[in-house]
Amino acid sequence: MECIEIVGISNVGKVRTNNQDNLYCNGVIKDLEDNTFIYKTKVDKSERVICAIADGMGGLRYGEEAAYYAVCTLKKYIEKKNEAGQIPSVRSAIKHMNKSVCKLAKKKNAIMGSTVTVLKYVDNKIAMYNLGDSKGFLYRDGRLFQMTTDHTENASMKRMNDMIGGFDEGKAKNTLTQHLGIEEDEFIVEPGVSEVVAVQKGDIVMLTSDGLTGMVEKDVMIGILQNYQIPLEEKAKILIDKAVEAGGKDNISIILVEM
């Protein structure tokens, strides 16, 4: 049997007291009260795989709850579609997740939100969908390609400069321009959608919160991913450890999917 291996790990880091990240690993999510999370499994390559990372915002427990309710909504949506014999639409799932977080914010009378990045694998092809700056990558043949689009002011400014120039990128902030928790009558939430990519044997897909990408250089990540003597779970643990060693200023979450 040709398999796909999935590993998900989340760590609170060295500075924060609670973990505002959450993960959805093909039906399994991190409990709200847990600061750590480790999950691994193998599935037949003919099966459909959906994984996601959510990085909550809002301070105290609000960000934690926003990320948790987001992945819970994703889980319920996928289960409902599977029961009906339908293929889940990630775009529709994200719309449902946004409504869920908005409803929670109203109930709590609080400002809260979450990023989300979703991987969908079906028929030997992958695509990624995202809101915010939690990233999705494809590792292949010694190179690491970012498949997601960062929804931040400075990333938007850089894209504008690359197209037409004339903008002062130094004035841009790292403020999110898209995330879960935006009322649709105020602003239309439009997830970034990657190209559909046919996977190859040896490919590794990586989803991560900015607790990893903000602390570990790309070349270091490549060095770990390209070492085929290290099991996938150990690669994920080493990446987490590298972020902690670099300061662990944020929660760190990672999902690795190896073809």
Q: Do the Cβ atoms of 116 and 134 come closer than 8 Å?
A: yes
pLDDT tens digits, one per residue of 161-211: 555 555 554 554 568 899 999 998 877 889 999 999 999 999 999 999 999
pLDDT surpasses 80 at 108: yes
Tokens representing residue 157 in the block: 């400014």
Do the domain assignments include residue 191?
Answer: yes
Eight-class DSSP state of 176: B
Closest Cα to residue 137, out of 256, 8, 15, 3?
256
Closest Cα to residue 211, out of 179, 180, 187, 246?
246
Question: 250 pLDDT band (50/70/90 cuts)?
Answer: very high
How many domains does the chain fold into?
1
Do the domain assignments include residue 170?
Answer: no
CA 155 to chain centre: 17
Q: Do the Cβ atoms of 236 and 192 come closer than 8 Å?
A: no
Whichever domain contains 125, its CATH number is 3.60.40.10
Average pLDDT over residues 140-167: 76
- pTM, two decimal places: 0.93
Do the domain assignments include residue 184?
Answer: yes
Task: Name the burial class of residue 35, with classes exposed (0-12), middle (13-18) and buried (19+) by CB atoms within 10 angstroms of its CB.
Answer: middle
Do the domain assignments include residue 155?
Answer: no
Q: In the chain, what percentage of residues exceed pLDDT 70?
A: 91
Do the domain assignments include residue 114?
Answer: yes
Which residues constitute the domain of residue 100? 3-149+178-258
Q: Which of 36-45, 150-159, 174-183, 193-202 has the lowest mean pLDDT?
A: 150-159
Do the domain assignments include residue 36?
Answer: yes
